A and B are shown apart, each in its own frame.
Chain A
Amino acid sequence: MKDIAIVAYQQSDSVSDAGAVNEVELIMPVLARTFEQAGLNSAQDVDFVCSGSCDYLQGAAFAFVSGVDALGAVPPIKESHVEMDAAWALYESMLKIRMGHADSALIYGFGKSSPGDLPTVLSQQLDPYYLAPLWVDSISLAALQARLMLDKGLITERDMAEVVSRSRRNAMNNPHAQLSGDISVEDVLAEETFLSPLRKADCSPISDGASAMIIATVDQAKAWGLPYVVISGIDHCIETHNLGMRDLTDSVSTRMAANHAGMNAGKVDVAELYAPFSHQELILTRALGLDKETQVNPSGGVLAGNLMMASGLSRIGEVFNRIVKGEAQRGIAHATSGPCLQHNLVTVLEKGENA
């Protein structure tokens, strides 16, 4: 089986409102920088392209097709799309390479959430008979989950505030962050509740932006002469759509995916976790059994900027960056989708030659 590696990763700034900039214009500069990083000219230089986005954000069926305009798809390219975070576009691209149909792939994800009311838009991904007609939004569902944890004594509001404080402080070193700053636990706790028990600071911001990545077989990466980081494992698992049937205080599917991806085969220096709400980082850290040896969300995580359909790919890209910079040898990245961490993907990354 061919080993697959990441050779390039770029993301846009995470902004609260990109204004008149459309999706294609959000993607194009990110793609240009990604090609430049890999020493390539265009999508013609990779064997496969896969994107992740959500038509509900644009409010039109097949809206994702316009994203292809950012690629210049003439002469024809081999292209696919997932109506999911681009971390799952990476998964599809890896299958394509594993099947021997490609040696390299470009993956990109984009989301412009600012034009709509994102928590309301996300209510429409729920059970169409029992939940979507109630328009129960994503923040309210996360608040139900947080209270279950608080009531059971699994976490305190202070634990949640510590996640927020650390994320905002870490984000001060992230040039793409939307929210960063030297905020103490007391500062967070002094804030009144927004959707009790959650404070606004417990919730990821609503963001516009894009990210992109190029992967290739290790042989291809070597031929290109690029530093690379090997994707040694990847898997995803999903839980039932019935929130009442799930243990919302744990993330069984994350743990399963991590085990399947081989997370425990070595030390984890860094972990980037897609936790849109502070208490969810605590759920994930515990579900994965991460201890003090692992640095969690050095980028600030998605509490510093949450690019719908791109932030899962960005978690993988952030770990790639740490390993290329020599700050870590091995790390994991987590991506999530659905309400209250329903669907989870875990990627294990390891230093390759030249990285």
Chain B
Amino acid sequence: MSFQPVKFYQTGTFTVGNRLLAPDQRSVQANMERTNSLNSGHRACQGCGEALGARYAIDAAMHATDKQMVAVNATGCLEVFSTPYPETSWQVPWIHSLFGNAAAVATGVSAALKVKRQKGVSGDVRVVAQGGDGGTTDIGFGCLSGMFERNDDVLYICYDNGGYMNTGIQRSSATPPAARTATTMPVGPEPGNPFGQGKFVPAIAMAHEIPYVATATVADLRDLEYKVRKAMTFRGARYIHILVPCPLGWGTASDETLRMSRLAKETGLFPVFEAERGELTHSTKIRRLLPVEEYLRPQKRFAHLFGKTPAVDTIARLQAIADKNIRKYDLLEKEAN
């Protein structure tokens, strides 16, 4: 049974809260008692999608585990802006080691907690590992794959903003094709990031046939919280991939973060779905299908596609990716008969 949107309650489950819903139907974020795992005073840029996504996800995990959890953090924006020694914004048990080893550290923490539990020293404490796309899809990928393959009892959350943002916006393997970064400048016959083969880690996680894989965006809080809560009902390796727009790296206004994630989903460029043991079990349907141009045009990293002579071929190739996602992940509502 997947997340059931509530209809006809003015805003239903589209908004963060809704006074018309019964208390048990409300979101964690609407609660005055939410953990605020990532507290005020952090140094993320204005309108940071990752800061928002991390609080959404970790608050939901804290709620699901009744605060019995440990967070393991890879190096990256999230760690740098939240924890400049000796200050931290984290209000959860939190550990940071290196850039590439978050999955391995989480495996170790999980093993240690298992021993403590067996010895009766502690109760059932769960482990959540988190990192950006650089620490997950590039540098930490070996550790992550190992964690999946061993089916260690860890929920790994990747906040995907499509590049190495705090070091100056370099390309990662999650950077979308044609996007400008510091290392993929809009010059030459194929400006921006080359199309390549792509590396969609949720699909790779599914190939490991781990208990649970899901994607989410910061624009759909209720869907995100549902997926974190559901992930905590499984034992073994779980993976959630959250799209988090980066105003700095994408070249968007700081108030457009949610709009950009909404557009990524509504165009089909970012498929939102769930899979269990390697099989697709549910996809969040597109509400109002839009052409990819709607998503690309507001972003300065794609500005070179919309110059004096628009790069129609490149836009068409990006549209083809969206179309394929829509087919592959079944993103459209079936026509009502």
Same complex for A and B? Answer: no
